[in-house]
Chains A and B, each alone.
Chain A
């Protein structure tokens, strides 16, 4: 097995520790969302290879700042839990395929006796899933048999140049602390007073809250942490739950974000429609967590059998124990029938041409077992997953309703534009009469205003274009205000908009149209910059005015008001946050071109072996 990446590489002195030693408890020191352990720990690989074949594992590592790469063979001394290094050397590392020097990265070559698994629980599926939640990564897989014949191949190309946000480390929140951890923290503390211990080691504890906690636990503020007795620590744990505390900061989470989920999913699954949602982060027992769900529908997906469920915890695919996992259970608890998917018996995994992705990002993912195969039950997490499912479900329902409306409109257009003129022509020919004027007939048949929207990608201007055509097939003049949803965000803007109009709410733009005379139509166009091709493929169009429009929804003013109020509140909260704690604002890394630097985090190394 050969595995190679273009990551930051591992510094020479850390190689032994990373590959040759089973680490324990590294997560106690840093609380942030990490990739955590991936499948079998790398140490396990070295060990397994040694056990089954007696062979050494060859590691090549190159760190950008070094002039040469490290080449080393590793085995494990199981008694001492230590790596055995041999034939170590430093050399220039040339890529076998390109013939070019590699400036940073890691390559592992190992030999083992194992069964190559295919199907649902395979290497292939693992990488496919990994690529979905890591759209910034390009992954390729080549599997050869003994004769060197390729028996399986996979190639998942990068679809985003945006790196995941670098997560901030946070201190633990008292709500998630267990007695043993607290005691260890007390023991290791260098603080001299309990008040400063609480302030320095925990998040969400204001000086006032610290005093209150100590008061409730009946501990003097000036006590030395090291001297706190076990009963007193126990009293503190109780006090943690009773005293009002601030929520922990949320920037320790790294969600994939809905647009990238959409990209990742559409890379792996050919579908017609994708609905994604990234819920706001929230807290359970002092641990911030965040739920993301993506649903794809139609296209190449099979309509037979249950839908595919893709589960992830901190961007790591969960491939086993689907039935016993909280993420699955929350999905099963949704009434999918009302969202347009079949669900025999009214609960359980729905059937139909769909796939659902669910990602739990958290500083502390609770698994059902050490194997980290399934997420264990937690009411708050369950509730969030369910809510996210309902949201994508609504998206699907909307989409289906729209498709059926669109189909109806299409039929009507075919009727009046193709069939009716042919009826007129044929009947006139047969009778030797003149062809009738069809305009009044068409008005009578349609007797409605039709709206069609089309989203497209303009290559030259690199704009995501939306074109809305409105036909007035009624006998009266009509006047409407048309409102369109668009993906408003920090990176996007309404670049092309000859009709002007105005912003109604976040992501909602409105245009007042001139009066539309009977039998006429008009086209409204606008273009969004800051997106890539295929990013935007579904929108909602609303209207205000008299009479229905087929293909658009009447604007729900009450709902709009609510949204505006929520936005105003959010803005006010943000304002307060910014002025009171300027350093705690969310630190977001700007979009950058993928080029790992020496100080880029090593994915998955610090959380290994928990």
Chain B
């Protein structure tokens, strides 16, 4: 299950052709061309008991050529298909942003925005059950940084396997996770850690390194860089699966951080079609919790209008439909406050590593 199902070139092209064939066949029958997709909102994700993550539900949406906007999207989808085929043939790859610029030459198939081209590429992944990597499309976002006593082998651009220890062979910025972290590119070789800690902000990541927390607590630190990229989520999942290490998430206490955790632990709404490869259901939310604001008397900020709206949305998000999360969200609504990870500095630079984290880890049985 850990291995993402990869398709060979022929299978990818065939899957893409099925999409074009649905359009073509309908036109031959005298019907408007169309594409059928799952609805990609929180109203259509549900917990998959077998996989233990959130997946798209049964609600489908039909994108057909009865409206100009949808018709344009169908045309663009065909252009993307053609472009991917060309890349597969010529053994090239491109970033999503490059594809966006290449579309300038597609006439009426040109994208309106980068967001649109990203979404269409995702749509194609979903209907063809292929992965972005199969399409030779690379994301723009950079992956995470890792520091800790783990050893990986990465195939470099000369095609040679390079062995890297993420504590001894890297500088202060850590090991940079590549966009492709599948077996063909990255092997998890060796480790001497007790758990993995995923950290939301760069400031806290650097604080923990400076304080030597990775060695003291025998853990690997992963900097998420905000909403984690697919490769970040995927490598966390692989470490969890292959080394059976617990994963904890250390983030700010605000509605957006809750979503970061949800995308790691339960699956993101946008990528619910591949949740089973990206989500790590064993991941635990360590902090900062709404309780911590009170317990540690942390400096806090008032919730903004957007924050309040986001919390409200989370109450009806099936991923947060557990007693603990509902409690946390409601408590936060009551307080009307949020707090940053770095607010712990109120008690000194070492407070987080000397007091806060040991106490929190202790409560989930990871004390050291």
Contact = CB atoms under 8 A, between A and B. Distances in A.
Interface of A: 411-412, 414-415, 418-420, 422-424, 426-431, 433, 436, 438, 440-441, 444-445
Interface residues of B, number: 27
A414 B30 contact: no
Given A423-B78, A431-B24, 8 more contacts: A415-B65, A415-B68, A419-B65, A427-B21, A430-B17, A431-B17, A436-B27, A438-B27
B30 A415 contact: no
Contact of B65 (A411, A426, A445): A445
Contacts of A414: 68
Contacts of B75: 419, 422-423, 426
Q: Is the interface of B mostly helix, strand, loop or mixed?
A: helix
In this complex, the member of B23, B79, B81 whose beta carbon has the largest number of chain A beta carbons within 10 angstroms is B23
Contacts of A431: 17, 20-21, 24
A412 B27 CA distance: 17
A26 B225 CA distance: 86
A433 B26 CA distance: 13
B136 interface: no
B31 interface: yes
A598 to B, nearest CB: 65
Given A414-B68, A445-B32, A445-B65, A430 B27 contact: no
Residue of A420, A422, A430, A445 most packed against chain B (CB within 10 A): A430
Interface in B32-55: 32-33
Nearest to B16: A430
A426 to B, nearest CB: 4
B24 A444 contact: no
Given A412-B68, A419-B71, A419-B72, A424 B109 contact: no
Contact of B68 (A411, A422, A424, A430): A411
Contacts of A423: 23, 27, 33, 65, 71, 74-75, 78
B67 interface: yes
B81 A424 contact: no
A531 to B, nearest CB: 36
A361 B20 CA distance: 69
Given A426-B79, A431-B20, A441-B32, A415 B67 contact: yes
A427 B78 contact: yes
For the complex of A and B, 9 pairs with smallest distance between CB atoms? A440-B30, A436-B27, A426-B78, A411-B68, A427-B24, A419-B71, A436-B28, A427-B20, A415-B68
A431 B27 CA distance: 14
7 contacts: A419-B108, A420-B32, A420-B71, A423-B65, A441-B27, A441-B32, A444-B31
Contacts of A445: 32, 65-66
A508 to B, nearest CB: 34
Interface string B70-89: 01101100110110010000
Interface string B10-24: 000000010011011
A427 B23 contact: yes
B88 to A, nearest CB: 13
A325 B319 CA distance: 62
A440 B26 CA distance: 11
B315 to A, nearest CB: 34
B294 to A, nearest CB: 44
Contacts of B23: 423, 427
Given A422-B108, A423-B71, A428 B24 contact: yes
B24 A441 contact: no
